[in-house]
Structure 1
Amino acid sequence: MIVSTREIEVRYAETDQMGVVYHANYLVWMELGRTALIQDLGFKYAQLEKDGIVSPVIDLQIAYKKPLRYGETGTIKTWIAEYDGFRSIYEYEITTPTGEVAATGKSTHVCVKKDSFRPIPFRKMYPDWHEAYMNAMKKGEE
């Protein structure tokens, strides 16, 4: 499977009164990881939006394990856990500078028409993207 990796420097504004990353910022980082993965596969989410397609989150899970603090650099790993031509499930692992797991997560998305929120047949409308997702899940699973 293909895993996208990005480093994130914790900014002061992302921390809370306890001096650790505020929990909601992990969701933003998951989005950064998902966008990076899509780019690593050769596509741009912005193009979907230009086509009138959006990909809302329909389920989200996150588990916090260890805090990240201001000035530290976290690493987010993102991969496609499941994809069936309609629904995409991405998984995430965010680690501390020492490699310890700070948070894990999973988000489920579907692609819909922006104006009506009606689901689209993603594999038919975007066959290249569909093939890239299928291949991204398979690499290294042999």
Structure 2
Amino acid sequence: MKFPDKPPIIEYKHELRSRYGETDRMGYVYYGRYLEYFEVARTEMIRSYGLSYRELEESGVMLPVIHTEIEYKMPILYDEKMKIKVMVFDTPAVRLQTFYEVTTSATDDVHIYGEVSLCFMNAETRRPCRAPESFINSIT
């Protein structure tokens, strides 16, 4: 997975602890859970700028996921505290592209790399639209 070769315009960190029900028989966090963790971190990142998904939806704009990519480097175990770093490298236009690094205190190495792209969509027409000006103004 290749991250852009420039500094991010947004960098947000969120902490979560893996729960027993999120692990498999080996005690590893189940691979499908990472997209949920990314969503939690991304939602909190947006909230940290004074916005919320709910407000976007109430204003008629939805943000469906259009692409995901995950690279698993090392497992995360039950009850480990994860640090999820969300990065945005480009000002959103029609697409919001977010990148992720998941680490723990167990090692300095990154456990998981991820990328999730979302599309701003008009809720009524279900067609792509430009990011709302209020969204752009809040994050820049």
Instruction: Calculate percent identity across the aligned residue pairs.
Output: 32
Q: Which residue of 1 aligns with 2:122?
A: 113
SS in 1 for 2:99: strand
Q: Which residue of 2 aligns with 1:97?
A: 105
1:82·1:90 contact (CA, 8 Å) conserved in 2?
A: no
Encode CA deviations 1:77-101: one digit per residue, 9 max, x unaligned: 1021223421110011110223321
Distance 1:106 1:55 in 2: 15
1:59 paired with 2:59, answer: no
Distance 1:83 1:105 in 2: 19
TM-score, structure 2 normalization: 0.86
TM-score, structure 1 normalization: 0.85
Provide structure 2 residue ranges, at least 5 long, that are not aligned to the other structure: 1-8
* Pairwise CA RMSD: 1.5
Aligned residues between the structures: 131
| Larger helix fraction of residues | 1
SS in 1 for 2:116: strand
Cα distance change of structure 1 residues 128 and 52 upon mapping to structure 2, 3 Å threshold:
closer
1:30·1:76 contact (CA, 8 Å) conserved in 2?
A: yes
Distance 2:71 2:90 in 1: 19
Amino acid at match of 1:33: A
1:47 paired with 2:55, answer: yes
Q: Which residue of 2 aligns with 1:138?
A: none
1:10 paired with 2:18, answer: yes
Distance 1:121 1:78 in 2: 22
